[in-house]
Amino acid sequence: MLERKKPEADLRKSYTVYMQLGLVAALGILLILFKVDIRSESDIVLQTVEQETVKMEEIEQTRQDVKPPPPPRPPVPVAVPNDEVIEDDILDLDAEIDLDAPLELPPPPPPAEEEPDIFVVVEKRPEIKGGMKALYKYIVYPEIARKAGIEGRVILEFVVDERGKVSNVKVLRSVGGGLDEAAISAVKKVKFTPGMQRGRPVKVRYTLPVTFKLSS
């Protein structure tokens, strides 16, 4: 049994030695290969590619010639009869002008009639002859307003002239129902004493309230 185990031990020792020697040899070969440049100059080929040159050509802009409009047609001549004779007016430039002679001017317009001033404030105001009682005598209460129960105060404005007559009657405040017309009719029927300013009668603008009230 001892004789068989001996050769196996020798084989294991020799195997490890061979392995180490093989590794050392491989490392040595690798080092030699890294240091030595195997490539030759003939193997390296540089290829140069020539770049195509592109030529830029200048493009001329085409000009569009604008044609001028055609000339207008000449007017067609119209034949004139030979019998017609055209004479130029002869101006007499030798006429003498008399600068000393009076100029003839048109007559002036007639003077406008001046309307007398209408006063608002005067020394003496116009008054109704007989007072407001005389005015209410001429007032007729409209039947429509009476049935509808319309009451109120109508304010009138008018002008009393130099003779005490009433003109230009206006309604400043209306009530309706025919009361405005009744007040205007009564004012036109009464007589006024004219207003006085500096001792003479004048036109006066007058304001008068007229009250309408139904009796119970």
Per-residue confidence (pLDDT) for residue 15, from 0 to 100: 73
**In whole angstroms, what is the distance from residue 175 CA to residue 173 CA?**
7
Residue 146, domain member (yes or no): yes
Indicate whether 117 pLDDT > 90: no
CATH number of 140's domain: 3.30.2420.10
Residue 70, domain member (yes or no): no
- Name the pLDDT band for 93 (thresholds 50, 70, 90): very low
pTM of the model: 0.46
- Name the pLDDT band for 162 (thresholds 50, 70, 90): very high
Q: What are phi and psi of 14, to 5 degrees?
A: -65, -30
The pLDDT > 90 percentage for the chain reads 39
Residue 110, domain member (yes or no): no
Residue 38, domain member (yes or no): no
pLDDT tens string 7-41 = 666 666 677 777 888 888 888 888 887 775 555 44
Instruction: Name the residue range of residue 153's domain.
Output: 127-212
Per-residue confidence (pLDDT) for residue 50, from 0 to 100: 57
